[in-house]
């Protein structure tokens, strides 16, 4: 597997002097650090660690296409569209495995029924992190926000569980399973 220069990809879509970059980079760096900490504890291979580092640094690249002024993104699409847009961007960059992470890092997953019932701007299908790498990155992402002033603060498991509980029993059950598996 060739090593990916994720900063080259990031800089292609976000300029380092932009407000969006000042939000994006701390967020993905914090997620990457936590994901790697979990992956090492799980005993994942060097190749898996390298992939997790790359994919975690790129998992939110789709935000460049969304309307999220609070983080300096002036696109036209709803925020959740960053999953689909991130997948498109990373596939166009020749990074299909990284694109899967971008497309599937929707917290603890979301069902087709939930997407349709809630009218979410996502393709009507079940979207769940499937591989261990996807799951570890999704887990780590739950603990960090993209809100200025909160970027480096890691939420406690209790804070994350309380937030996740808003999405129902399935999400809470998955959180509890992942907490046992991934710890922290």
Q: What are phi and psi of 62, to 5 degrees?
A: -65, -10
pLDDT of residue 150: 86
pLDDT of residue 184: 63
List the one residue out of 96, 181, 168 whose CA is nearest residue 138.
181
Report how far residue 80's alpha carbon sits from residue 65's, in angstroms, rounded to the nearest whole number. 10
**Global confidence as pTM:** 0.95
Q: Is 15 exposed, middle or buried (0-12, 13-18, 19+ CB in 10 A)?
A: exposed
Report how far residue 89's alpha carbon sits from residue 102's, in angstroms, rounded to the nearest whole number. 9
Length of the chain: 184
Place of tokens 């036209």: 76
pLDDT of residue 149: 85
- The parts of the chain modelled with pLDDT lower than 50 are none
Which CATH code for domain 6-182? Answer: 1.10.3210
Domain ranges of the chain: 6-182
Q: At a CB cut-off of 8 Å and minimum separation 6, what does 146 contact?
A: 23, 24, 27, 60, 63, 68, 71
């Amino acid at each position: 597997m060739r090593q990916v220069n994720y900063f080259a990809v990031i800089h292609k879509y976000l300029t380092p002097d932009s407000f969006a970059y000042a939000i994006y980079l701390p967020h993905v760096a914090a997620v990457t650090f936590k994901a790697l900490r979990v992956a090492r504890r799980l005993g994942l291979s060097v190749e898996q660690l390298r992939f997790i580092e790359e994919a975690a640094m790129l998992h939110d690249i789709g935000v460049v296409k969304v309307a999220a002024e609070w983080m300096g993104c002036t696109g036209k699409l709803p925020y959740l569209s960053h999953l689909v847009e991130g997948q498109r961007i990373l596939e166009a960059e020749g990074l299909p495995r990284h694109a899967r992470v971008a497309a599937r890092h929707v917290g603890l997953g979301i069902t087709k029924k939930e997407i349709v019932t809630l009218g979410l701007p996502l393709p009507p299908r079940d979207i769940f992190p499937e591989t261990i790498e996807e799951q570890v990155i999704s887990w780590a992402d739950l603990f960090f926000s993209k809100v200025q002033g909160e970027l480096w603060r890691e939420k406690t498991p209790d804070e994350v569980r309380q937030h996740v509980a808003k999405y129902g029993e399935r999400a809470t059950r998955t959180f509890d399973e992942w907490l046992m598996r991934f710890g922290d």
